Amino acid sequence: MIEAVKFWNEPNNKSHWDPILDPEWRIYAEMVKMAAEAVKAENPGILRVLGGISPIDPFFIQRLTNYGALENLDAVAVHGFPLDWNLWQIHEWPAKIAEIEAVTPLPVWVTEVGISSFGAEEVQEFGLQRTAELLMGRVARAHWYSLYDLPRTWEATTRHREAEGSSYYRHFHMGLLREDGSPKLSLKHFSDYTPEFGICQWFHFEDPRLDDAINWLRKLGVKRLRTGLSWADWLRPNAEVWFDHVMKKLEEFDLTVTFCFTPESKGIQPHHTSPPQNIEEFADFCVTMMRRYA
């Protein structure tokens, strides 16, 4: 069941939204305003959430507030990875939440938080336990990223291999499960924090892990699941069949669904991070997904 929808993913991160094409985020703000109004008109009972920001930046929230982009939203979301990419320590989580609360009356959700096992599984084990201590009871929603490691044969298209060095490769080791589905040390602790603690797991187009993922989510007692419906994927051949299959399989969970990724043919530039040429088409996609799955 869809509980909430998010408009884009990490809009203040160049891996997901091109700041050269939209340097003041005016296009993004207008797109969110239009999409939120459209979703609210279609189904006012579904929570509407700003795409999770990374880095956690109160000035970005203030900018969007000034543009009027938050007027029809029910929450804002943040993403944090303090042991891998962020320039702050894990114990600062409550302070980072407070920074955002200081600039908006909307509730703050943490829709991605994770620790890579790139250096050692024991680091991830500690990070999971400490993160849960800091966030449970502090925010209304927290989603661990992720259930599975990213397969090494898949390019992390939202990262920059040439520029990031070891940071790029950390992205492949964020799961509670290894690529082959075997458990890491941290897995045995996760059910201590469910159902309050959720999972964020993106499913690629025709992802072969879907059924196994659902079985693991059930074993772990997960009720809240965050995933995405890609606008770019929606234009693929047989997309309706795949989307229907995924959403039917996931209907037992309380879903937070992210609408994101510009089709190459729809962008100002032919890339998934590009602002669309026509923001009404993104709003139309959001409404189509609502009518079909909410």
Rounded Cα distance between 184 and 199, Å, is 16
Is 251 a residue whose pLDDT tops 60?
yes
Residue type, position 228, single letter:
G
- Over residues 8-32, the mean pLDDT reads 97
Average pLDDT, the chain: 96
Eight-state DSSP code of residue 269:
S
Give residue limits of the domains in the chain: 2-293
Handedness of CA 113, 114, 115, 116 (dihedral sign): negative
Rounded Cα distance between 48 and 35, Å, is 10
Percentage with pLDDT > 70 across the chain = 96
Is 216 a residue whose pLDDT tops 80?
yes
Residue 294 near residue 2 (C-beta atoms within 8 A): yes
How far apart are the two ends of the chain, measured CA to CA in Å? 7
Fold (CATH) for 2-293: TIM Barrel (3.20.20)
Rounded Cα distance between 280 and 288, Å, is 12
Q: pLDDT of 126-182, one tens digit each? A: 999 999 999 999 999 999 999 999 988 776 655 555 555 677 889 999 999 999 999
- pTM, two decimals, is 0.96
Neighbours of 252 (CB within 10 A): 13
